[in-house]
Amino acid sequence: MTSVAEPIAGAPRTKTAAAAPAITLPAVSERELRLDLFRGLALWLIFLDHLPNNILAWLTIRNYGFSDATEIFIFISGYTAAFVYGRAMLQSGFVIASARIMRRVWQIYVAHVFLFTIFLAEVSYVAARFENPLYTEEMGIMDFLKQPDVTIIQALILRFRPVNMDVLPLYIVLMLFLPLILWLMKWRADVTLLLSAVLYAVTWHFDLYLSAYPNGAWFFNPMSWQLLFVFGAWCALGGANRMSRVMSSRLTLWICAAYLVFAFFVTLTWHFPQLGFLMPRWLEKWMYPISKTDLDVLRFAHFLALAAITVRLLPKDWPPLKSAWLRPLILCGQHSLEIFCLGVFLAFAGHFVLTEVSGNSPIMHFLVSLAGILIMSGMAWVISWYKRSADKDAKKGIGNADMAGGSL
């Protein structure tokens, strides 16, 4: 982090710089399609990773480095949230912006509860219909079947979560603190990022965590993952522009490439134990375990290296961003909440098909994975079409069912 702040800290203070706002926002213009593209890609990768023993999961980035699609999703979520609500805070003030953020938090929470209900029904039905209780154990809902009254309360306060449902509770907690994050960044953006890093270090040093039900801790520790979310917000609110000189440096590019190659060869030793002799014992002792729960610094650095090279290779005006081939990915990224929930549902459905119907054949792995991606893309297109139609009706002054009679 110090390398990012050094060019700013070392710059001489002038009257103009002192009068400048702590955060800066680019002018409202065309949508940043790269963010939508990679958020959509993260959703596809999460779906593939959530299919147990999925052969196509070998195509996801988790097998070739320390980080995975979760880092992409959380960083972009922080970036886009700060871009949208940071502008609201600058224009409308803290209270109005906070109210809008809380409304979004409520939407995410309702989506989580709805997904929880549907997921429980899906798993319970399959387990009973096919007389296979292992599904309830695999998906982590055994405690719900034993104590449904207690478990539902724990689920509502985000302490109980079945398998594959850890991302939304993390996102809810991070968004709850977004008003404070934006308020601090409006004061001093770089200091806010530094405070986030301090919290991250304190969390590791004192082993801080949020407890889960019935035992254990949150799979994604918000006190650690907030660093990536805040870093995304910092980049959106002028940080990316301020460190553009560092990011465009050839030295930075080579350091990032070298780190990615190093991470690739380390992960090879995980998949091929016979290559274990390539890893010195002292290095293993220093590196392992690489915690996903607490966002290990090696994972964070791996994401930064990927992001730096990606930004360098894919400029904002990259022509394929407007192509029809990438349109499904971009649409999924633009409707990430709905598509993520659908992906969790489809992942278990795919698990059921691979286990009970197909005999776990490689061809079925491909077909189930492709079917899930096509369904997610189709749903994203339907949502986009509906919103375009609603916008056209609103411009024409035509009412719709959502507006009739007020809110329910």
Taking the CA atoms of 351, 357, 362 and 366 in sequence, report the sign of the dihedral they define. Answer: negative
Would you list the DSSP string of 102-114? HHHHHHHHHHHHH
Give pLDDT tens digits for 132-166. 888 888 888 888 888 888 999 999 999 999 989 99
Q: Is the pTM of this model over 0.85?
A: yes
Query: How far, in Å, CA of 124 to CA of 196, rounded?
Result: 41
pLDDT score for 405:
39
Can you list the pairs that 98-102 forms with residues at least 24 positions away whose Cβ atoms lie under 8 Å? 98/179, 101/175, 101/178, 101/179, 102/179
pLDDT score for 26:
60
Output Rg (C-alpha) for the chain, integer angstroms. Answer: 22
Bridge partners, 211 (sequence order): 217
* Contact indicator for 79, 153 with CB cutoff of 8 Å: no
The identity of residue 260, as a single letter, is L
pLDDT at residue 7 tops 50: no
pLDDT at residue 1 tops 50: no
pLDDT tier for residue 25 given thresholds of 50, 70 and 90: low
Coil vs helix vs strand at 217: strand
User: 117, 56, 119, 46: which is closest to 77 by C-alpha?
Assistant: 46
Encoded tokens for 295: 């966002």
Domain ranges (residues) in the chain:
25-390
Query: How far, in Å, CA of 42 to CA of 283, rounded?
Result: 30
pLDDT tier for residue 116 given thresholds of 50, 70 and 90: very high
The identity of residue 349, as a single letter, is A
Coil vs helix vs strand at 178: helix
Query: How far, in Å, CA of 36 to CA of 321, rounded?
Result: 10
* Contact indicator for 376, 332 with CB cutoff of 8 Å: yes
pLDDT score for 248:
86
Q: What angle, 0 to 180 degrees and rounded to 10, lies between the N-to-C axes of helices 222-234 and 167-176?
A: 60
| CA atoms within 13 A of residue 142's CA, in its CB half-sphere | 8
pLDDT at residue 14 tops 70: no
pLDDT at residue 231 tops 80: yes
Find tokens 């560092």 and name the residue: 246
pLDDT at residue 253 tops 50: yes
Encoded tokens for 252: 């930075």
Mean pLDDT for 37-62 is 94
Mean pLDDT for 34-59 is 94
pLDDT score for 291:
96
Query: How far, in Å, CA of 128 to CA of 273, rounded?
Result: 39
Q: What percentage of the chain's residues is helix, strand, coil (to nearest 5)? A: 75, 0, 25
How many residues are there in the chain? Answer: 408
Higher-pLDDT residue of 202 and 144 is 202
User: 114, 164, 117: which is closest to 139 by C-alpha?
Assistant: 164
End-to-end CA distance of the chain: 47
Taking the CA atoms of 84, 90, 91 and 95 in sequence, report the sign of the dihedral they define. Answer: positive
Arithmetic mean of pLDDT over the chain = 88
pLDDT tier for residue 212 given thresholds of 50, 70 and 90: very high
Find tokens 């949020």 and name the residue: 210
Mean pLDDT for 371-376 is 97
Find tokens 């995410």 and name the residue: 108
Query: How far, in Å, CA of 138 to CA of 98, rounded?
Result: 39
- Tell how far CA 408 is from the center of its chain: 30
Peptide bond before residue 133 is cis, with ω within 30 degrees of 0: no
